[in-house]
Amino acid sequence: MGNRVQTAPDYLPNDSIVIVLGPTGSGKSTFINNVVGEAVAPTSPGLDSCTTTIRGYRVPFKHDRSLPQRLFLVDTPGFDAILDNIDASRTFKDLCEWLKIAHCQGATVGAMVYIFGCTNRVANSYCEDLKIFQEMCGKDFLPKVVLCVTGGDSDKDATDQRMEALRQSVRWEPLLQAGASMGHLKNSSTSATEVVKKLAGTGAFNRTCTLALMDELADHKSPDQTASGKSLRSWFKESRTYKALKNLRRLFGFHRIGV
Ligand SMILES: Nc1nc2c(ncn2[C@@H]2O[C@H](COP(=O)(O)OP(=O)(O)OP(=O)(O)O)[C@@H](O)[C@H]2O)c(=O)[nH]1
Ligand SMILES: [Mg+2]
């Protein structure tokens, strides 16, 4: 695990955690910075994935009774990130390790935020990513989930259309039906804070329901034995098979290999 999982500051019983997930470059770290009100999490406009470690940032809302006294937003690398010697399964294992540590310290995952870039096409990788996210949450946890769209700030009509298409898509609709909410992040402190307040408004931080992945880990399942871990593994294996076949085709000219 090395130092890729940041556990300090130590969590306390009753601490609440919001895990922020989504494809690389979707705006996870920017969202956290906007909520915290400072550039605490590294961000990048470049092509390479930026966040490489799992790390919690404390939200400095002091006098808001709808929020837990100590609330942390957890930044994560996207499962689709291309990082030196790190793959999706390593990131997933780190996240599981991190969850177990936080759980042992008495903290609970109060909510999950999934961020998706407005201009991103709905590719296969994204569908798999969302499926894994859904399995991590479990059905009962979905009322504690916000699906957020970032970007498209300058073209309101196009963004509204896109939001509507996502709302009705076969990927998002079942999650929304099961209680998840939807938000548009406008790269501002106000809109990021609204998402956290929206979660508080649904009573997310008071509910006792736990994350499905957390329950599985508490049952002593290894990351690979969990539902989301299994899906991630098969996705990863398939993409490796796909790459290997593509290489074969390139090297030997097997144009009839159907990949
Ligand atoms: N226009 C606009 N740009 C955004 C928004 N959120 C993030 N960005 C930009 O998108 C780029 C990537 O943002 P990051 O916050 O680093 O994305 P990330 O999801 O943390 O990326 P990884 O760490 O690689 O997983 C940065 O240049 C941000 O300024 C948004 O809501 N609107
Ligand atoms: Mg990041």
Q: Is 23's C-beta closer than 6 angstroms to any atom of ligand 1?
A: no
Residue having the nearest C-alpha atom to atom 7 of ligand 1: 27
d(CA 180, CA 199): 10
pLDDT tens for 128-155 read: 889 999 999 999 999 999 999 998 777 8
Pocket flag, ligand 1, residue 134 (CB < 6 Å): no
DSSP secondary structure of the chain: -TT-B--PSPP-TT-EEEEEE-STTSSHHHHHHHHHTS--S----SSS----SBEEEE----S-TTS-SSEEEEE---TT--BTTB-HHHHHHHHHHHHHHHHHTT-EEEEEEEEEETT----HHHHHHHHHHHHHH-GGGGGGEEEEEE--TT-HHHHHHHHHHHHHSTTTHHHHHTT-EEEEE-SSHHHHHHHHHHHHHTTTTT-----HHHHHHHTT--GGGSHHHHHHHHHHHHHHHHHHHHHHHHHH--TTS--
- For ligand 1, is residue 44 a contact (CB within 6 Å)? yes
Q: What is the pTM of this model?
A: 0.89
Ligand 1 in reach of 26 Cβ (< 6 A) = yes
The pLDDT score that the predictor gives to residue 1 is: 44
* pLDDT at position 163: 86
Using one digit for the tens of pLDDT, what is the confidence trace for 17-64?
999 999 999 999 999 999 999 999 999 988 888 998 899 999 987 667
Ligand 1 lined by 191 (C-beta under 6 Å): no
Looking at all shown ligands, the one closest to residue 192's CA atom is 1
Q: Which ligand is nearest to the CA of 77?
A: 1
81 Cβ closer than 6 Å to some ligand 1 atom: yes
Which residue, by CA, sits nearest to atom 14 of ligand 1? 27
Complete domains list, the chain, with CATH:
16-225 (3.40.50.300)
Ranges in the chain, pLDDT < 50: 1-3, 258-259
Report whether residue 120 contacts ligand 1, using a CB cutoff of 6 Å. Answer: no
Query: Measured from the CA of 42, which atom of ligand 1 is nearest?
Result: 16
How confident is the model at residue 4, as a pLDDT? 58
- Residue 239, token pair as written in the block: 């993409």
The response to whether residue 159 sits with its C-beta less than 6 Å from ligand 1 reads no
Closest by CA to 192, choosing from 79, 57, 70, is 57
Give me the pLDDT at residue 28, please. 97
Cα–Cα distance for residue pair 41/204, rounded to 1 Å = 24
Q: What's the gap in Å between 115 CA and the centre of ligand 2?
A: 11
Indicate which residue's Cα is closest to atom 9 of ligand 1: 27
Give the ligand with the smallest distance to the CA of 44. Answer: 1
